[in-house]
Structure 1
């Protein structure tokens, strides 16, 4: 039998050695013992593959179309002469804040109404924003039965003998804030509407706005 050329034998020798070593390691006497089955962690233990804690659940994820937050009937009542469709004010991020306003001058009576929806990432951040707003707008009082909590304040300002009375209602509900501003002036008498008229109008709009937020979810 002819022997293989020396050069070819030298090239094949390492392959034979590796193959023999592979047999010895995998099935021969030098083979490793089979790995033991990994037991489940005891009750209460933490598994490295356990899923991470889920993100905080937000009650309100979507804002309604703000110009539909107040009914046409209420807009006509609070802002006589205004176009009931309203005008949405541009926002840098509509997923976080949306606002609509209505205003009109009928005769000498001027009225302005706006509503804003602000959605926060958590209930805590919404509550912090609510507390900050109500602290800045001191002198008001609680509005019962609206959201988790609500606050109303009315202020009178005078500019060049012209009075303007403005009411604001701030509603906190879970991770959302609903804010209504309502004001008015009489340019003939230079007087402002009564505190009662402005306060009741703002609260009425806020209640409708809160109902629209709940319906949008």
Structure 2
């Protein structure tokens, strides 16, 4: 006890000898926490991440994606207006169908548009669109009944495009007809354009050539991609 009393007395004398501004530093334990306080910015939680901006926020009417000349060239005898297959989400998805029979030569064309928004958990709109485009290409080879499937890259259509050629057989009443088909999947920004074009020769008419079907599909795909903006 004697030594403790001496230490307290010495401490009191030292504190009395320094300027008043330093007296607080001599306190023997006021109970206050002298540790640094975090700045307001450090204590505030960071704002949640925002979705990445997308290139396209709307879609055109799918039945207005092709010029009248393209419709006449690719689907003879078809109604130029096409048939809108409908969608409740017109800014996210849309499909239009043109079909025509010129003599015994049958042609059908569909243009499908699919737009993706960015999502912080699923990825940017362009990333999601690229994933969907890959699925559209793969779906052809996964479909039973599709024969001689061959896919190749196509230049000059959107940011990137893939063309898939194949053949299939469809029943027409009691008869079966051979169809030659082409799918082109084009990616432009956060939008995927899928063009499906098919042709068949009924009765004594021959099956259209692979070249004609491919060129018709590519012509329609170029129109459709251009219409996106």
1:158 corresponds to: 169
Residue 195 of structure 1 is aligned with which of 204, 210, 218?
A: 210
Where in structure 2 are there 5+ consecutive unaligned residues? 1-37, 118-124, 142-149
CA distance in 1 between partners of 2:44 and 2:157 (Å): 45
1:170 corresponds to: 185
Q: Per-residue displacement from partner, 1:134-156 (whole Å, max 9, x unpaired)?
A: 23335210001222210001112
Greater shift in the superposed pair: 190-199 or 157-166: 157-166
Shift of 1:47: 6.9
CA distance in 1 between partners of 2:226 and 2:189 (Å): 14
Residues 1:212 and 2:217 aligned together? no
Please tell me whether the aligned partners of residues 105 and 205 of structure 2 are also in contact (alpha carbons under 8 angstroms): no
Shift of 1:39: 6.7
1:79 corresponds to: 75
Q: Per-residue displacement from partner, 1:148-173 (whole Å, max 9, x unpaired)?
A: 21000111223445211111100012
Please tell me whether the aligned partners of residues 115 and 179 of structure 1 are also in contact (alpha carbons under 8 angstroms): yes
Q: Per-residue displacement from partner, 1:56-87 (whole Å, max 9, x unpaired)?
A: 21111111111110110010111111110111
Shift of 1:95: 2.2
**2:69 alignment partner, SS class:** helix
Distance 1:86 1:39, change over 3 A: same
Please tell me whether the aligned partners of residues 140 and 154 of structure 1 are also in contact (alpha carbons under 8 angstroms): yes
Residues 1:144 and 2:140 aligned together? no
Q: TM-score, normalised to structure 2's length? A: 0.69
Residue 132 of structure 1 is aligned with which of 135, 138, 141?
A: 135
Distance 1:163 1:191, change over 3 A: farther
2:93 corresponds to: 97
Where in structure 1 are there 5+ consecutive unaligned residues? 1-37
Superposed, 1:27-66 pairs within 5 Å as 41=41, 48=44, 51-66=47-62
Paired residues in the alignment total 173
